[in-house]
Amino acid sequence: MKKRFLVFLYALFIVSNVNAQSRVFKQVGSGISTSLHSILQDGSLVGYLTFTELEKASKDSFNYEITIMDENLNDIGKVKFSQQKLNLRSVAFEQDILCLTYIKSDVLGTTAKHKISYKIAAKKGYVSFFAQFINLQGEITKTFEKKADVDLYVALKEYEAGIRPFKQDIQLKNISGVGFAAFYGDKTKKSLLTFNAAGEKIGERQVKEVAATYYLHTAGDDIYLLTQKAEEYGSGYTLYGYSGTANSPTLKLPLRDKKQRMLDILGFGNDPATGKLFISGIVAGKFQENSEGNVYDIYNGAFKGIFKMDINGAHKEDVKTVYSCWADSTDNDITSKGYITSARGHIVPRPSFRDFEGNTYFLGSRLTAKKNKGALIAGIVTMPLLIPYYVMMATGAFGTYSFDDVLLMQMDKNGKISYVDSIGTEIYKRKNAAPVFQFADNCSFYSLTNPDTKTSFLIVKGEKDIIIYNVHEKKIVRKIAKNNNEVKTNIYPAKDGHIIVSEYDEKEKSTRLSIEAI
């Protein structure tokens, strides 16, 4: 749903074989920490940086080094500075300025693990939101700090388990032509800060909306917060939009259809042709409001259809929504319960994306499932006896299900839906009671676009292979084995029209990152 913000975490790396498009990182120790982050602008990757914590500079501060790289992994600058304990959370780029946001503290990560030392530190210590602005010459042009309301004693104990002190982690986006927007939440408030490219704070909104999760997004000079009431699958979403300098939301949009059924989001980002926000996903049935749902629910028609939403501005009149029921498909290929006749199964929609021509695509595993009604009745009757019931469950008597292909569907710009193609993957079959589908599916997916050719590609990660699929040509253009002897391969998005091929060599304890065109 969200744009992927890649973070590769390592202990310490020596960089070798520095050539355009390829780089090797060797792990050599655990005393110093280095992380590699992608730099994003308007949702597109424009470069990378490594953030390294070096030795202590003094009793309460550390030396740090930032290496800035272009989209081909070539070094373009280094920044060295000293500061108290920092945890880099996000990076963005706008008007030749990098903005980095951190959790800063004088006690987290530096206090001895002891109840008494925690109590002492909690009395005098602090945690803050910290922003740093760096130009392309490697100069820190501005910093900003705001202390957070945090229960430090609790934060110190939780920090041992890797739990960060903010209730809502820091999120950062660039605002095109303006600067940056940052969001975070502490114990008592949720702050939405805006900065110009010079690093000056130009606005601060206190977000009053109550939710479990918040997603920050920008499109043009509009700022959006997508909220989710609970973290379980199928929970209610609401989109809030802030236009210009408005302190209160100018848009409040609960994501439900005209029948008040929940809309579950699968695509959330900027339209590649217009740069405006779009949302797409599925129209949920009642099961999602009362339970997590299993594969049999989907097979029996729990998903009612799909939708797309174009948000051209942060006001209600700027929103255009199109709903399509399964039965509205071309050639009547899809039944009202979502069964695709030509594919001989149901799609379990996962990611959704938009192409340059205004078509919206939905990708997901093909589901086939079958209940044994007689066995289910017998199981209910024999349940008090326990042993017969568990024997039937262990032998798969109640039913079977499988995820055995990846299906691609299209909603055209007029809202008409059709089945496009099947992308073969490994067969995944199981018996017994069907689980919640998102935990059982053995595939992960995402899309990439080449803006020069305006071609969309799909990356399908199965258990054994990674498949690169050309959407417009409807064919597999490359297949990569995930494991080859001691080398583990993975694929990540890179600059427009490219991928990162990550190859981890277990024997050498090194990772090679290569930028390749698709």
Question: pLDDT value at position 456?
Answer: 87
CB under 8 Å to 247, separation ≥6 — which residues?
A: 203, 205
HSE at residue 232, side-chain half, CA atoms within 13 A, is 9
Rounded alpha-carbon distances, angstroms, from residue 107 to 111, 278, 378: 5, 42, 61
Contacts made by residues 62-69, CB under 8 angstroms, sequence distance 24+: 62/86, 66/100, 66/134, 68/39, 68/98, 68/134, 68/136, 68/138
Question: pLDDT value at position 116?
Answer: 83
Question: pLDDT value at position 287?
Answer: 46
Question: pLDDT value at position 207?
Answer: 93
Question: pLDDT value at position 218?
Answer: 96
User: Which H/E stretch holds residue 373?
Assistant: helix 373-382
Question: pLDDT value at position 394?
Answer: 53
295 in Cβ contact with 369 (< 8 Å):
yes
The pTM (predicted TM-score) of the whole model is 0.83
Segment 191-230, tens digit of pLDDT = 999 999 999 999 999 999 889 899 999 998 999 999 998 6
Phi, psi at 514, each rounded to 5°? -125, 135
Q: Which residues of the chain have pLDDT under 50?
A: 1-20, 28, 287-292, 431, 434
137 three-class SS: coil
Computed over its alpha carbons, how large is the radius of gyration of the chain? 25
Phi, psi at 115, each rounded to 5°? -60, -40
Question: pLDDT value at position 148?
Answer: 93
HSE at residue 42, side-chain half, CA atoms within 13 A, is 16
Strand 13-19 relative to strand 127-135, pairing:
unpaired
195 in Cβ contact with 204 (< 8 Å):
no
